[in-house]
Structures are given as structure tokens and as C-alpha cells.
């Protein structure tokens, strides 16, 4: 036993080190708690007020299981994990629901580290609560979009194994989630063997950050139905570090079938236009040719390509009637009610051919409208009446000549009759 007069050695305190840790504790953006072995809260930083709305003095000294911002499920989880840590068990970070003073539910990640004395005995723990509410909300929004998306979505890790799929791709391929998760795309029988090397090359490009353009691939479902899909790839990253490849798969089978049928109908229509004996032509509101058949191009002496997109009035109408006809076209399209008055059935005008000749065309015109009923141009069919007009003019000319000749002939006959009459009278006088 030391004598009472002897002084006890003073315990040295590194105030600089203490102050450094104190600053970290107070200025940390995370909520930090110090808890003793019995679960009593020894200290907590001011971040708890910003996050949960509670002051430090309202919390210090309470059992961690009675903290007012813990939900019932959080109390159960935290109590169980605290007990296991006090027994020396390692507990990885976990998520709990927290409730602010205003009643708002937030999500926190709890990470705890045991505090040991110089003998290695656990005397408590330091707990860090990280608010991940916004991240969780973003993940939930993404998950909702992911699951409800009408197009198929598949997420691969960088090794090419599927880590997630949405309902759309499962329905498209007639597969279950278990049949896809964990599998490599090269293991699927939905792809044709000949396409596997191409798909592997595209995947490797995506992993390296060289995202390929949208491409089409043919697949087969579980029931052996063919599916034609349009595929787009994307690289998922955390910061600058890629961790997954996501692909979007759209079933374009019906779209392609519809395109094929539409193309067939268009070809039939074009064949009809090309076989038609009349000019068939469409103009937009500016008077530019949006369609003309082979007959029309042939009559004008051009190819269809040479006419398409050209202004009809500026290139194929004689100068003397050009301005008037163009004005009528614009007026008619802007005032649909007056169109038939401006261009009555059988309206005729001259057109200018490539070699500078003019031809007279009789037109049958109608307005073109879009799905909303708005006028977008005109559609016309025309017949070449140049020869007919010339023939009619020749007939009229000959009729005039015949009438003139007839007049002359009739006058001559009258004079002959009169002369005969006078000769007869003279003969009668001589006979007497």
C-alpha cells in the first residue's frame, strides 16, 4: 500500500486526439450512437435531430430499445442483433424502418462495431445509422418501372449470368423466373445456335462500354413459337465502375407482320397506279408532288424520280397560267368548301412536257385529309384530251367550211332553178 503522502501517478490524456475524435463524432453526416453493454444510450450526435427531429437530451440515458424513433419491427431486429453482438457474433449491416417525430417513415442502414476494454471484453458498441430512404425510394421506383414495363428487361452480371428479369420477358418467352435467374444467355435454347457468337460479341462490347446500336434477333419460346425482337443494351454503373448489363427486349413480331402486309398492300396499290390508264398525282399544300404514277411521268416525258418532290406549278404548268392555277390550289386547300367551285369536275388545263410541248388534261380532283380531318393536299386523276380537243377543233373547222359551201351550193341551185324557170317562160312565148 502506498503511503498517504505519496502522490498517485497522473493519467495522461491526449486532448488533441480526443478533440479530433469529438469533431468527427459531432460533424459526421451520419447518426452515431454510443451504447453500453446493458443497451443504455451513452451519447448520440446532433445529426439525430436533423434526421429524426429528436434532441440529444431527450434520448441520452434511455435504453436503445425504447428510443422513440424505432418502429416495432426495428425494436425486434435491433434487440436481437445487439444481443448477438454482445456475445461476440459478427452481424453485417442491416436495414430497419425508423419513424421521425413528424411521423415520416425513413429507412436506415445500421452498422455496429463492438467496444472492448484493455482485456478484450466487450463493454458496449458504437452504432452508425445511415439514412438510405431516397435510395430505397429510387430503387422502388425503378423496380416498379422494371416490373410494369411492357417490354422485356433482363439484367446480367459482367460474367453474363442473369441476375434479374421482369414479367414481360417471362411472358414473352413462356419461362419462369427460376428458369432464367442464374443462367448464362449462351445456355438458353431460345436463341438459334448460329446467333450465339454474334450475341456474345455484342455482350462483350457492352461490358467494355462500347454500347452497340439497337439490333434485331429471332428467338423461340418454350412452346416453339417464333419471336422477332428488337434489343437495346445498356451498362449499369456505380459511379464509374460498371457492375451489370441491362437489355431491353421488345417483341416486334406483330409489328413486322403488319409491316409486311402493309408493304404488300402498298405494292398492290402501286401496281394499280402503274397500270392505270390515267395520270394519278398527289400534291401537298405547297404544290409539291408527293406521288405520281408511271403513266403521269411517261406523259410528261420524265421518270417518277425526276418529278417526285418538285413543285408542280413551277415545273410542269405553262407560264401563262402558272400563277393563276397555283393561287387557286392554295385557296382551295385553305378553303375546302370552295375547292369544288375552283376545280369543278372535268376541269381542264394545259401541262408542260419535258420537251416543251403542251398537253391538255381533263382533271378529277379531291382533297386529301389526315386522321384529324385536316386538309394536307390534293389527289388528282387526269386524262390526256389533247388529241380529242384537236379532233374536235378540226371537226368544227370542217363543219364551218361545209356550212359555207352549203350556202354557196344552195345559192347556186336557186339561181339554176330560177334560170330554168325563165327559160321555160321564154320557150312558151316563142311557141305562141
> Which fold would CATH assign to domain 151-256?
Beta-Lactamase (3.30.450)
| pLDDT, tens digit, 9 for 90 and up, residues 369-383 | 888 889 999 988 888
- The two counts, helices (H) then strands (E), for the chain are 13, 15
pLDDT given at position 13: 44
Which H or E run contains 300? helix 294-300
Cell numbers found for residue 38 = 446493458
Strand order in the sheet with 122-131: 41-44, 31-36, 122-131, 105-116, 94-99
- Measured between its terminal Cα atoms, the distance across the chain in Å is 206
Residue 360 CB-density burial (10 A; 0-12 exposed, 13-18 middle, 19+ buried): middle
Q: Where does CATH 3.30.450.20 sit in the chain?
A: 15-136, 151-256, 273-384
Closest to 250 in 3D by CA, of 152, 154, 355 = 152
Q: Cα 423 from chain centroid?
A: 105
pLDDT tops 90 at residue 262: no
pLDDT of residue 8: 45
Who's near 252: CB < 8 A, 6+ residues apart? 216, 228, 229, 230
pLDDT in tens, 44-67: 998 888 889 999 898 999 999 999
Mean per-residue pLDDT of the chain? 83
> What does the pLDDT look like over 144-156, one tens digit per residue?
777 878 899 999 9
What is the four-CA torsion angle of 292, 296, 302, 308, rounded to 10 degrees? -10
Class at the top of the CATH hierarchy for domain 273-384: alpha beta
> How many other C-beta atoms are found inside a 10 Å radius of the C-beta of residue 8?
6
Q: What distance in Å separates the CA atoms of residue 174 and residue 224, rounded to the nearest whole number?
A: 10
- pTM of the complete model: 0.47
| Percent of all residues in the chain with a pLDDT value above 70, rounded to a whole number | 81
Q: pLDDT tens digits for 326-359?
A: 999 999 999 999 999 999 988 899 999 999 999 9
CATH topology of domain 15-136: Beta-Lactamase (3.30.450)
DSSP 18-60: HHHHHHHHHH-SSEEEEEETTSBEEEE-THHHHHHS--GGGTT
pLDDT of the residue at 274: 61
pLDDT surpassing 70 at residue 171: yes
* Residue 413 scores a pLDDT above 80: no
Cα(18)–Cα(198) distance, integer angstroms? 62
What does the alpha-carbon distance between residue 343 and residue 367 come to, in Å, rounded to a whole number? 11
What pLDDT band is residue 141 in, cutting at 50, 70 and 90? confident
Quote the percentage of the chain above a pLDDT of 90.
46
Rounded CA gap, 358 and 273, in Å? Answer: 23
Distance CA 406, CA 383 (A): 36
- Cβ atoms of 218 and 192 within 8 Å: the answer is yes
154 CB burial (10 A radius; 0-12, 13-18, 19+):
buried
Amino acid at each position: 500500500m502506498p503511503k498517504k503522502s505519496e502522490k498517485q501517478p497522473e493519467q495522461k490524456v491526449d486532448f488533441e486526439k480526443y478533440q479530433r475524435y469529438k469533431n468527427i463524432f459531432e460533424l459526421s453526416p451520419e447518426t452515431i450512437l454510443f451504447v453500453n453493454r446493458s443497451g443504455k444510450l451513452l451519447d448520440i450526435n446532433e445529426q439525430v435531430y436533423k434526421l429524426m427531429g429528436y434532441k440529444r437530451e431527450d434520448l441520452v440515458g434511455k435504453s436503445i430499445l425504447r428510443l422513440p424513433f424505432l418502429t416495432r419491427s426495428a425494436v425486434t431486429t435491433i434487440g436481437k442483433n445487439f444481443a448477438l453482438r454482445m456475445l461476440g457474433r459478427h452481424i453485417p449491416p442491416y436495414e430497419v424502418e425508423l419513424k421521425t417525430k413528424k411521423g415520416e417513415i425513413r429507412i436506415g442502414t445500421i452498422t455496429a462495431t463492438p467496444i472492448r476494454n484493455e482485456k478484450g471484453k466487450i463493454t458496449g458498441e458504437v452504432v452508425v445509422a445511415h439514412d438510405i430512404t431516397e435510395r430505397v425510394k429510387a430503387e422502388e421506383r425503378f423496380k416498379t418501372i422494371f416490373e410494369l414495363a411492357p417490354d422485356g428487361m433482363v439484367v446480367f452480371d459482367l460474367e453474363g449470368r442473369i441476375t434479374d428479369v421482369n414479367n414481360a420477358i417471362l411472358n414473352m418467352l413462356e419461362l419462369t423466373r427460376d428458369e432464367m435467374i442464374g443462367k448464362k444467355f449462351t445456355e438458353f435454347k431460345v436463341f438459334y445456335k448460329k446467333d450465339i457468337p454474334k450475341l456474345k460479341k455484342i455482350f462483350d462490347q457492352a461490358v467494355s462500354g462500347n454500347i452497340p446500336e439497337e439490333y434485331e434477333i429471332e428467338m423461340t419460346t418454350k412452346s416453339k413459337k417464333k419471336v422477332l425482337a428488337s434489343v437495346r443494351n445498356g451498362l449499369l454503373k456505380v459511379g464509374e465502375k460498371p457492375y451489370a448489363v441491362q437489355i431491353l427486349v421488345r417483341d416486334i413480331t406483330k409489328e413486322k407482320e403488319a409491316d409486311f402486309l402493309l408493304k404488300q398492300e402498298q405494292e398492290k396499290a402501286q401496281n394499280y397506279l402503274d397500270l392505270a390508264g390515267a395520270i394519278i398525282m398527289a400534291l401537298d399544300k405547297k404544290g409539291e408532288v408527293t406521288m405520281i404514277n408511271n403513266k403521269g411521268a411517261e406523259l410528261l416525258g420524265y421518270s417518277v424520280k425526276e418529278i417526285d418532290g418538285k413543285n408542280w406549278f413551277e415545273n410542269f404548268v405553262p407560264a401563262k397560267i402558272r400563277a393563276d392555277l397555283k393561287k387557286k390550289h392554295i385557296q382551295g386547300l385553305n378553303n375546302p368548301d370552295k375547292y369544288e367551285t375552283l376545280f369543278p369536275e372535268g376541269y381542264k388545263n394545259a401541262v408542260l412536257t419535258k420537251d416543251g410541248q403542251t398537253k391538255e388534261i381533263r382533271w378529277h380532283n379531291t382533297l386529301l385529309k389526315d386522321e384529324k380531318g385536316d386538309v394536307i393536299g390534293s389527289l388528282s386523276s387526269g386524262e390526256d384530251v389533247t388529241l380529242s380537243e384537236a379532233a374536235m377543233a378540226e371537226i368544227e373547222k370542217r363543219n364551218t367550211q361545209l356550212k359555207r359551201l352549203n350556202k354557196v351550193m344552195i345559192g347556186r341551185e336557186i339561181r339554176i332553178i330560177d334560170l330554168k324557170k325563165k327559160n321555160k317562160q321564154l320557150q312558151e312565148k316563142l311557141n305562141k
